[in-house]
A and B are shown apart, each in its own frame.
Chain A
Amino acid sequence: MSNEKNTEKTQKHYLTSKEIKAIAKENSKVMKALEKKKYRKAVESEFVTTMKDDKNILEIEDLHTYFFTDQGVVKAVNGVSFNIPKNSTVGIVGESGCGKSVTSMSVMRLLQGPQGQIYSGSIRFKSEEFKRDAKGNPIPVFVKDENGADTQVQATSSSGAPLFEMEEKVLDIAEMPISEIHRIRGRQISMIFQEPMTSLNPVFTIGNQLDEVVFIHSPGATKEMAKKRSLEMLELVGIAAPERVYNSYPHELSGGMRQRVMISMALICDPRLIIADEPTTALDVTIQAQILDLLRDLKDRINGSIMLITHDLGIIAEMADYVVVMYAGRVIEQGTVSEIFHNPMHPYTIGLQKSKPTMDSDSDTLFNIPGNVPNPVNMPSHCYFKERCSKCIGKCSGDYPGMIQVSPTHYVACHLYGEEEKNG
């Protein structure tokens, strides 16, 4: 890695042409290898694994996602590990540029290549796959007659989609070649994006874009079936005139309506995991509350999990079961929502809590954490928060602190708590 070189010249404002060439050479070598891996043909056994804990739906372990830029390697996600248990909402908080969105993009494998690459780590996902016969076709489930024998009629789900036999498999998304990723994307993990205004294709009708998802993911779906399902979903997300919206183009809808459409698109295949990447940032507050209520209702209804990315602590407090706090590409603290809110341990989390406006404070000014996130190209080897931290101790100049367990669910990466852990 060219990183050693970069750390030496930390305070330089420009790179010499020699250094730029060296970086470019190194980058293209690594990028080429990673791209090759991404487009390789792989047998399934290469990316089928097992879960560490069977209660989880997603386990991210030591994920490194890098961007190979002309200035050097940006380690946007630098060793992130956390789990998403079944039927729970995990909130990911942190300031802009801390790697929240890149983590979610890594899970969806939507990183802009060839610059953005998952460098190492694993993302294990418990996937529900179609059972396939020898020819590779999904095996349909047939309606049983009184004697228990199969009839020739294929069973359908409550929404009218034809049913197939399913099996559970654990897939390592980080190891999957990109040609296999459509098994997961959209059907099992779906994503709600931050910008509803630009996230829908302007030249197709809403109906067309919704039906498309049904067509890809349920084999044998007919046009009527897809339309029925789409209208059902539009109604589910609280759109009053689904038939009208179905035939509209995105530019004919308001921002809140478009986000509802995005949500219905994400939910149309009953995904096991919904990644909501700041789903309410672009919306006004009244719509925000409605959208969040909607997400919570839907989560229970389809029995899925939500990975909620936001920098709004209020949303986290309201929605999440577990919270992961990220800073500069690393997880610095994680725990249940009450542990994070009532007993924040990392100075950064404490600072975040303090900088939240409250109704009962008399102060005119809002607390802010001084300083900025360090330059992502030249990360120091000590704790990334050291320069901004008010509780620095001598040990902070040493190595990056490891994760310390303070309760069965609460972890923190800070030197302040290292000794306690050893004693306790």
Chain B
Amino acid sequence: MLKYIAKRLGQSILILLGVSLIIYILIRCMPVSFIEDKIAQMNQGGATIPEETIVAMKEMYGLQDDSFLGILKGYANWLGNLCQFDFGDSFKYGAPVIDIIKRDMGVSFAVALVATFFEFMIAIPLGITAATHQYSIRDYIVTILVMIGISLPSFFFAQILQNIFSLELGWFPFQGFFNASTDSSPIALFFDKCYHLVLPIVTVTVLSIGGRMRMTRTNMLEVMNSDYIRTARAKGLKERVVIYKHAFRNTMIPLVTSLAGLLPSLFSGAMITEQVFNLPGIGNTAYTAMMAADIPFIMGYNMFLALLSVLGVLLADLMYAVVDPRVKLQ
């Protein structure tokens, strides 16, 4: 088991190296440049920047050479720094990338964690009832509602929520993370923050229930038609035990696969939702950095997600062995 994990971790390093190279090349090929944006801003101010200053600036940021070799050199440089655990400083925010990720991750993680909790708590029971009452009115209602949930774009649904619950009813704040006036006790500040996170959490939850519910329903239907469920019924078990013990344990096996995607999604932040609600989450930060071609930050952020994805896949594989006795890891 330990040997297996060690082997997988070794493979992960190779994967991460490949991922980082691809991302670096892609970012360098983006049609935005941090320096040119900056110069354009300065020029608007009326000043003319001499050519040698521009060259010096590019050199300072390590962006002087846009040829393929130049990009590779830049990558080698980035990788060298990484080996000393230095992700570099963000162009845009002027601070170490790690510090910014640490600073902004909390909000996103809180939103994602709570939303994921509700997603599972709602989607799995819905999927099970829809499957066990297949083709009944209950099944149709659940399926239709969930389809609506999947189909809604997040910016649209978020704005509908803002419109109804904030502008019309005034129950929740429109956007932001806390009210500026609340600088009183830490407890009051905490509750104020929670209050601000209600609508974003609802948005993320409603939009993610659909996929999970459909997955549960499909798996459950497949399991309910299998021979061992018939055996369980023939034993004289109550239907409740058949569903929640015999069928559900088998439904869980494919659900575990989705753990692979769950880990990065907990930390990546909901880019668009955070944008709409103007939350200082990592998704929002990454979006701004992307628009500004902030190479060190985008690299750091994407590598962070890549690492989480790789770990998520490993975790899912390990969980497989836990929930399915037929799987042996070696």
The 0/1 profile, CB within 8 Å of A marked 1, for residues 279-309 of chain B is 0000000000000000000000000000000
Q: Is the CB of A198 within 8 A of B227?
A: yes
A191, B250: Cα distance in complex, Å? 22
Stretch from B25-33, B210-218, B235-243, B266-274 forming part of the interface with A:
B235-243
Chain A minimum-CB-distance residue to B325:
A249
Q: Is the CB of B234 within 8 A of A200?
A: no
A182, B242: Cα distance in complex, Å? 12
Chain A minimum-CB-distance residue to B224:
A112
Q: Is the CB of B230 within 8 A of A199?
A: yes
A190 contact set on B, CB distance < 8 A:
234-235
Q: Is the CB of A201 within 8 A of B236?
A: no
B234 contact set on A, CB distance < 8 A:
108, 110, 185-186, 190-191, 193
B249 CB–A CB distance under 8 Å: yes
Given A203-B250, A249-B325, A251-B325: A186 in contact with B235 (beta carbons within 8 A): yes
A367 CB–B CB distance under 8 Å: no
The residue from B135, B227, B238, B249 contacting A204, defined by CB atoms under 8 A apart: B249
B326 CB–A CB distance under 8 Å: yes
Q: Is the CB of B236 within 8 A of A199?
A: no
B232 CB–A CB distance under 8 Å: yes
Count the A-B residue pairs with Cβ separation under 8 angstroms: how many? 72
Given A185-B233, A185-B235, A265-B235: A249 in contact with B326 (beta carbons within 8 A): yes
B231 contact set on A, CB distance < 8 A:
193, 199-201, 262, 265
A212 CB–B CB distance under 8 Å: yes
Tell me the residues in window 207-239 of chain A with beta carbons closer than 8 Å to chain B beta carbons.
212-213, 216-217
Q: Min CB distance, B321 to chain A, in Å?
A: 12
Chain B minimum-CB-distance residue to A210:
B235
A357 CB–B CB distance under 8 Å: no
A193 contact set on B, CB distance < 8 A:
227, 230-231, 234
Q: Is the CB of B326 within 8 A of A212?
A: no
A202, B236: Cα distance in complex, Å? 19
A193, B235: Cα distance in complex, Å? 12
A186, B324: Cα distance in complex, Å? 27
A251, B324: Cα distance in complex, Å? 11
A265 contact set on B, CB distance < 8 A:
231, 235
A199 contact set on B, CB distance < 8 A:
227-228, 230-231
A195 CB–B CB distance under 8 Å: yes
A249, B230: Cα distance in complex, Å? 18
Q: Is the CB of B236 within 8 A of A203?
A: no
Q: Is the CB of A203 within 8 A of B249?
A: yes
B232 contact set on A, CB distance < 8 A:
201
A187 CB–B CB distance under 8 Å: yes
Q: Min CB distance, B279 to chain A, in Å?
A: 41
Q: Is the CB of B227 within 8 A of A203?
A: no
A108, B323: Cα distance in complex, Å? 31
Among A182, A190, A201, A205, chain B packs the most CB atoms within 10 A around the CB of: A201
B246 CB–A CB distance under 8 Å: yes
Q: Is the CB of A200 within 8 A of B326?
A: no
A110, B229: Cα distance in complex, Å? 10
B135 contact set on A, CB distance < 8 A:
114
The residue from B237, B238, B239, B324 contacting A202, defined by CB atoms under 8 A apart: B324
Q: Is the CB of B235 within 8 A of A202?
A: no
B249 contact set on A, CB distance < 8 A:
201, 203-204
Tell me the residues in window 77-124 of chain A with beta carbons closer than 8 Å to chain B beta carbons.
108, 110, 112, 114
B226 CB–A CB distance under 8 Å: yes
A191, B226: Cα distance in complex, Å? 16
B250 contact set on A, CB distance < 8 A:
201-203
Q: Is the CB of B235 within 8 A of A203?
A: no
Q: Is the CB of B325 within 8 A of A202?
A: yes
Given A193-B227, A198-B228: A203 in contact with B325 (beta carbons within 8 A): yes
Given A185-B236, A212-B237: A198 in contact with B226 (beta carbons within 8 A): yes
A239, B192: Cα distance in complex, Å? 66
Q: Is the CB of A186 within 8 A of B227?
A: no
B253 contact set on A, CB distance < 8 A:
203
Q: Is the CB of A202 within 8 A of B230?
A: no
The 0/1 profile, CB within 8 Å of A marked 1, for residues 238-263 of chain B is 11000000100110010000000000
The 0/1 profile, CB within 8 Å of B marked 1, for residues 165-179 of chain A is 000000000000010
A108, B326: Cα distance in complex, Å? 30
B323 contact set on A, CB distance < 8 A:
203
A184, B237: Cα distance in complex, Å? 11
Q: Is the CB of B233 within 8 A of A216?
A: no
A193, B325: Cα distance in complex, Å? 23
Q: Min CB distance, B298 to chain A, in Å?
A: 43
The residue from A178, A205, A213 contacting B236, defined by CB atoms under 8 A apart: A213
Sample of 16 more A-B contacts, CB < 8 Å, known A185-B233, A198-B226: A114-B135, A182-B236, A184-B236, A186-B237, A198-B227, A199-B228, A201-B232, A202-B228, A203-B250, A203-B323, A203-B324, A212-B237, A213-B235, A251-B325, A251-B326, A262-B231
Give 13 A-B contacts (CB < 8 Å), ordered by A residue.
A110-B233, A185-B233, A190-B234, A195-B227, A199-B227, A199-B230, A201-B246, A201-B249, A203-B325, A204-B249, A213-B236, A249-B325, A251-B326
Query: Top 9 closest A-B pairs, CB basis?
Result: A186-B236, A185-B236, A198-B227, A201-B228, A186-B235, A249-B325, A199-B227, A191-B234, A182-B236
